[in-house]
Amino acid sequence: MALKPCRLDGVAAQTLCGTLEVFEDRAAAKGRKLSLRVVVVPALASQPKADPLFFLAGGPGQAASRTRILPALERIRRQRDIVFVDQRGTGDSHPLDCDALNPSRVSLAERFADRDDADVLPRCRKGWDADERLYTTSIAMDDLDDVRAALGYGQVNLWGVSYGTRAALVYMRQHPERVRTAILDGVAPMGQYLPLYAARDGQRALDLLLEACAKDAVCATAYPDLRARTEALLARLEASPAKVRLPHPRTGVTEDFVLTRHVFLSELFSLLYSPEVASLVPLMLDRAAKDDWTSFVALSLGLTDEVARTTSRGMFLAVVCAEDAPFFTEADAEREAKGTWFGPRMALEVKKACARWPGSTVPKAFREPVVSAIPTLLLSGELDPVTPPAWGEEAKRTLSRSLHVVVPGLGHNTVGADCARSLMAEVLTRGGVEGLSPDCGKGLKRPPFFTSFAGPVP
């Protein structure tokens, strides 16, 4: 593969870019071709290690080359090339993008509209020059192995984040001899179906947050009875959606929109991914209970832009409709969401959208746990609303040479913590997890809650 110097948005370091052509239909090996975008950040050492680090992005649908995670890999980059490959259907690799699915909207009314993906899907599908059945993880991981071979690497190290951990597990199963070590951060094992368990796992994160506030003297004083008042708020929204009138956080122009319980909850869910953002949630809930939606709107808008920039929503459906939705029923969704505020709607919506998706197949036993002896570091954030530590434990059961580290006070993905980065670098240096410290950030706590407009306690 010919690599040419190129620039990555937000990355000052010199990078090399190339493309690799693969058949969309790998099995038939004919017909439409996709060109995969490949970005290599060369190691600094004059004699780099032969095995690079391959980054597998989340989503599904996130473009590896658009995530700005390189600064976190500074230590690893000294010795090893870092390779970003936009998985087929994402980024610059034949993306399954569609404006109608994209939540980044101009007006607040559109942005917070309560709508189903299923309604806009037919329009989106018409715009894609693609056979959506062929954008699954197994196929993409065979692509990835082609990239590895084209770049001339014998073995690679994998770093999967969120959905990328599923991708990494699949790669470990399909090309075990090619993997030296794997790092799975925010583990989504084969037993986890998207988004079947989201309501349950999200509720756990929310409960942890409300408990932490209730236990914290300052937070409890500033926002008394937060749980009860939030429940009352949700009941009110259930009865009738809120009519909101406020200035747009960016333009300052006053707008009107209607906010339903469902939209409020799904935005709240997104706010739990990062504890830094979540530190504003008690304040936001307190305001919202008083019918003041300003912080809620600003926070929600703040999150979506980045997601929209890096993620192809159509690709999310391509993976989920092939690999997740067929494996659970509406009844499963009702059962798993029982007793949660979030309810089964997220899972049911996906079921509905996937009903109109062309039927794709996954390899037999795709959903069996991945059994492997490849040295694997599993990382979980204690407060993660989507891949909480329990999923890491589950994946660990069939990975014989693995270490699971739960980082306290962190949410979805742990690379923000210095000790997690040290662990990652250590695994790569040692080529194994034996002798690694199982504690990371002992004594770390979630960032303090905002208890006034000025911030937390100083």
Instruction: Note the residues at the interface with another protein (CB under 8 A).
Output: 7, 9-10, 12-14, 42-47, 74-75, 78-79, 246-247, 249-250, 276, 279-280, 283-284, 293-295, 297-299, 301-302, 409, 416-419, 422, 425, 441, 443-445, 447-448, 450, 452-458
Least Cβ distance, residue 230 to another protein (angstroms): 17
From the list 249, 207, 28, 41, the residue with the least C-alpha distance to 134 is: 28
From the list 304, 350, 313, the residue with the least C-alpha distance to 97 is: 313
Report how far residue 87's alpha carbon sits from residue 369's, in angstroms, rounded to the nearest whole number: 22
Least Cβ distance, residue 455 to another protein (angstroms): 5
Residue 43 or 263: the one with the smaller Cβ distance to another protein is: 43
Query: CA–CA distance from 294 to each of 246, 249, 263, 289, 456 (Å)?
Result: 7, 8, 15, 12, 19
Handedness of CA 279, 282, 283, 288 (dihedral sign): positive
Report how far residue 77's alpha carbon sits from residue 55's, in angstroms, rounded to the nearest whole number: 12
Residue 46 or 364: the one with the smaller Cβ distance to another protein is: 46
Least Cβ distance, residue 44 to another protein (angstroms): 4
Least Cβ distance, residue 408 to another protein (angstroms): 10
AA identity, residue 348: L
Residue 159 or 450: the one with the smaller Cβ distance to another protein is: 450
8 A C-beta contact, residue 22 and residue 33: yes
Residue 138 or 295: the one with the smaller Cβ distance to another protein is: 295
AA identity, residue 154: G
Residue 154 or 247: the one with the smaller Cβ distance to another protein is: 247
**Residue 195, preceding peptide bond in cis (omega within 30° of 0):** yes
Least Cβ distance, residue 232 to another protein (angstroms): 22
Least Cβ distance, residue 449 to another protein (angstroms): 10
Residue 301 or 374: the one with the smaller Cβ distance to another protein is: 301
8 A C-beta contact, residue 213 and residue 449: yes
